[in-house]
Amino acid sequence: MAESFLFSIAESLIAKLASRAFEEASRVVCLYDDLQDLTNTLSLVKDVLLDAQQKQQHDHQLRQWLTQLKTVFSDAEDLLDEFECQTLRKEVVKAHGSTKDKVSHFFSTSNPLVFRYKMAQQIKDISIRLDKVANNRNKFTLQRIDVDTRVVHRRDMTHSRVSDSDVIGRKHDKEKKKDDILPALKLSYDLMPSYLRQCFALFSLYPKDYQFVNNETTWLWGALGLIALPKTNRTCEEVANQYLHELMSRSFLQDFENYGTMYGFRIHDLVHDLALFVAKDEYLYMSSNVQNIPDNVRHLSFADSSLFSNLVTKKSAGVRTVLFPNGVAAANCEAILKTCLEKFKRLRVLDLSGATFETLPRNIAKLRHLRYLDISRNPNIKRLSESICKLQSLQVLMLDGCMELEALPKGLRKLISLRIFSFGTKQTVFPVNEIAKLRSLEFLNVESCHNVESIFGGVKFPALKTLCVSDCQSLKSLRLDDQNFPELETLVVDNCNNLDLEMWNGHNEEESSKMKLKLVAFSGLSQLVTLPKWLQEAANSLQSLLVLNCPNIKTVPDWLPTLTNLKALTIRNCPKLVSLPDNMHHLSALENLRIEGCADLCKKYESYIGEFWPKISHIKNIYINGPEA
């Protein structure tokens, strides 16, 4: 079934070759004409792929042809990645390299003359192989369909039509219902636009009933190149979230908890079965020792890290993803890391969260295609080799929960593709200027930096959309304003009990400026007694507000209803809070109100019988649940 992804792979390859950055880079090394020939052949093949994918089920020879094509496409992806890696490396050496770096670059295999010769040979080889396979397309009387016209469904992320009640009952009836539902789901999958199919297949790498978070999912899609290059000013993240909306509209996702810019969801067991079926041969979730690993598997996930030993006998150079959704066991984490570094030269995604190795080897830099590296929650690691900063393709770097990490590596500015960065460190002053030079950075999570008192003073983060600061017990000052954070939409502050929440976004009130925040969450803040005044500055943009586990908050200010675009308000475990503003009816956009674990508040606003119920009864979705007795 992996052959059903071929149209989207061809589209992705052609889009990459047609991009301005790729065109300019290919002209510099005199490879433009070679790559144009490759583009032309890809276009010829792409035009018949949709018809071929529809007819393959009843034609064995056609299936074989698609399998051959898939192998060539995979090698072409690796080739273009190699080209991108070299371009990024050259850019870094030019912008940040020392004289020593430039000399070593000249005498390495990255030398433009050596690289041009090597790439020309590889492009020629791919082109010959692709031509040979492409010429065979005429055997199958395939129709040209160069645009995927399959319908795109959209609806709000509220609920999914496949529910547990659909398949509950006596065993015989339950199996019959499953048999009825699966063909309907398969039909919905068959009508799915090609760009969604690989994205959906990745759900097969997780166990059933896994709680997904949109960020985790979209970052993985991005790292594997499954998100189409935006044709407008939209970010990759926005395109990826559009994909999630489309999957939701087709009833493939359920149990949404929507917080505005962040949300969680699950997939039904039957949908998971479908994901396993369509992803077989290329995506594999290892849940037992008895499973065989097909040679053409590209994406691997392990229920238990002890199952990783199954790879020892496999020719696995083509593996692009290694995941451990349940974490890595301490017993074999170093062996796993060693195997990944030695065998998986084309690795794009490596998740070793929860591992216990004490150092990250210098040869991590050999994984130059790596785009996603998660070594979070490692209790032992103390330092990182500076060679990690040679991973110019890296988009996601997760270092949070590494409680013994003494310092961030020098040279972070060289990670020019980094979009997602999460870390904790023992440093008293961390290299904020280095981090600010990460021009692509969109998401920053600063966690458990217990020795830092002030961050972000006067430093500009032009692309940052999400900032999370948590468990920084010494932090007193957090300087935020729209000049230095012009794109900031999501702000989460958790368990920073020395932070002055009123004097943090300017030296005085005159310097305060209006930010475009859409989601704000305050959690675990014992110093919070009311909402900070500066929140009013986001009156025209704020859509979601969460106040969680703040034991001393007593009042919600009367200006809350001026937040006229607020769609969701969640208040949880705030025992001293006794009332909401009288004019809650002015919050005309408010659709979701959740109040949990607040005894007095829950009693006064209890559905239909509470004293103040009439003040909130106009809100569409209300969930009120008092603390357990």
Lowest mean per-residue pLDDT among 213-222, 226-235, 350-359, 531-540? 226-235
Q: What does the pLDDT look like over 3-25, one tens digit per residue?
A: 678 988 999 999 999 888 888 88
- Residue 10 shares a structural domain with residue 115: yes
* Residue 340: DSSP 8-state: H
CA dist., res. 13 & res. 7, Å (int): 10
**Whole-prediction pTM:** 0.89
511: confidence class by pLDDT, cuts 50, 70, 90: very low
Residue 387 has pLDDT above 50, yes or no: yes
Q: How far is CA 261 from the centre of its chain?
A: 13
Lowest mean per-residue pLDDT among 67-76, 292-301, 345-354, 425-434? 292-301
Residue 547 has pLDDT above 50, yes or no: yes
- Residue 228 shares a structural domain with residue 126: no
Q: Which helix (H) or strand (E) holds 467?
A: strand 466-470
- Residue 132 shares a structural domain with residue 201: no
Residues 2 and 280 sit within 8 Å (Cβ to Cβ): yes
Average pLDDT over residues 410-417: 93
Which residues are CB-contacts of 610 (< 8 A; sequence separation ≥ 6)? 603, 604
Average pLDDT over residues 50-59: 86
CA dist., res. 189 & res. 278, Å (int): 9
Residue 495 has pLDDT above 80, yes or no: yes
What per-residue confidence (pLDDT) applies to 510?
46
- Of 276, 294, 316, which closes a domain? 276
614: confidence class by pLDDT, cuts 50, 70, 90: very high
Domain coverage including residue 51: 2-140
CA dist., res. 184 & res. 517, Å (int): 41
Which residues are CB-contacts of 273 (< 8 A; sequence separation ≥ 6)? 182
What spatial distance separates the first Cα and last Cα of the chain, rounded to whole Å?
A: 53
| Residue whose C-alpha is closest to residue 265's, from 219, 216, 214 | 214
Residues 203 and 272 sit within 8 Å (Cβ to Cβ): yes
Q: Would strands 592-596 and 283-286 be described as parallel, antiparallel, or unpaired? A: unpaired
* Residue 108: DSSP 8-state: S
Structure tokens at 63: 């299936």
DSSP per-residue string spanning 232-266: SS--HHHHHHHHHHHHHHTT--EEEEE-SS-EEEE
| Residue whose C-alpha is closest to residue 344's, from 283, 303, 298 | 298
CA dist list (Å): 67 to 4, 118, 242: 10, 27, 30
What 3-state class would DSSP assign to 274? helix
CA dist., res. 531 & res. 502, Å (int): 9
- Of 257, 276, 295, which closes a domain? 276
Residue 352 has pLDDT above 60, yes or no: yes
Residues 41 and 127 sit within 8 Å (Cβ to Cβ): yes
Any bridge partners for residue 265, and if so which? 212
Residue 338 has pLDDT above 70, yes or no: yes
Looking at the domain assignment, is residue 338 inside a domain? no
Residue 32 has pLDDT above 80, yes or no: yes
Residue 186 has pLDDT above 90, yes or no: no
* Residue 502: DSSP 8-state: S
- Residue 135 shares a structural domain with residue 237: no
- Residue 134 shares a structural domain with residue 181: no
- Of 92, 122, 140, which closes a domain? 140
507: confidence class by pLDDT, cuts 50, 70, 90: very low
Looking at the domain assignment, is residue 603 inside a domain? no
- Residue 92 shares a structural domain with residue 217: no
- Residue 131 shares a structural domain with residue 20: yes
Residues 351 and 322 sit within 8 Å (Cβ to Cβ): yes
The mean of the pLDDT values for the chain is 86
- Residue 77 shares a structural domain with residue 206: no
Residue 512 or 375, more confident: 375
Looking at the domain assignment, is residue 583 inside a domain? no
What per-residue confidence (pLDDT) applies to 3?
63
Give the torsion sign (CA, 358, 362, 363, 364).
Answer: positive
Total count of domains within the chain: 2
What per-residue confidence (pLDDT) applies to 72?
94
What per-residue confidence (pLDDT) applies to 509?
47
CA dist., res. 149 & res. 539, Å (int): 41
Residues 162 and 254 sit within 8 Å (Cβ to Cβ): yes
What per-residue confidence (pLDDT) applies to 91?
87
Residue 149 has pLDDT above 90, yes or no: no
Q: Which helix (H) or strand (E) holds 446?
A: strand 443-447
Looking at the domain assignment, is residue 251 inside a domain? yes
Residue 159 has pLDDT above 70, yes or no: no
Residue 204 or 172, more confident: 204
- Residue 87 shares a structural domain with residue 187: no
Q: How far is CA 521 from the centre of its chain?
A: 20
E strand residue ranges, 94-153 = none
Q: Which helix (H) or strand (E) holds 295?
A: none
Residue 313 has pLDDT above 90, yes or no: no
DSSP per-residue string spanning 186-250: HHHHHTS-HHHHHHHHGGGGS-TT--EEHHHHHHHHHHTT-SPPPSSS--HHHHHHHHHHHHHHT
Residue 419 has pLDDT above 60, yes or no: yes
Any bridge partners for residue 446, and if so which? 423, 469
Average pLDDT over residues 73-92: 90
What per-residue confidence (pLDDT) applies to 287?
87
Backbone phi and psi for residue 214, each to the nearest 5 degrees, phi listed first: -60, -40
CA dist., res. 64 & res. 142, Å (int): 15
Q: Which helix (H) or strand (E) holds 374?
A: strand 372-374
Angle between helices 60-96 and 20-28 (to 10 degrees): 70
Average pLDDT over residues 492-496: 96
What per-residue confidence (pLDDT) applies to 316?
65
- Residue 218 shares a structural domain with residue 116: no
- Tell me, what CATH number does 252's domain have? 1.10.10.10
Looking at the domain assignment, is residue 76 inside a domain? yes
Looking at the domain assignment, is residue 524 inside a domain? no
What per-residue confidence (pLDDT) applies to 251?
86
Neighbour-count burial of 335, counting CB atoms closer than 10 A to its CB (0-12 exposed, 13-18 middle, 19+ buried): middle
DSSP per-residue string spanning 548-608: ES-TT-----TTGGG-TT--EEEEES-TT-----TTGGG-TT--EEEEES-HHHHHHT-TT
- Residue 103 shares a structural domain with residue 209: no
58: confidence class by pLDDT, cuts 50, 70, 90: confident
Structure tokens at 601: 């508040």
Looking at the domain assignment, is residue 98 inside a domain? yes
Residue 105 has pLDDT above 50, yes or no: no
CA dist list (Å): 298 to 72, 295, 306, 372, 601: 14, 9, 20, 15, 52
Structure tokens at 342: 């030695």
Looking at the domain assignment, is residue 323 inside a domain? no
What per-residue confidence (pLDDT) applies to 296?
81
CA dist list (Å): 455 to 98, 177, 294, 342, 474: 29, 56, 49, 39, 11
- Residue 15 shares a structural domain with residue 88: yes
CA dist list (Å): 457 to 478, 500, 504: 7, 14, 10
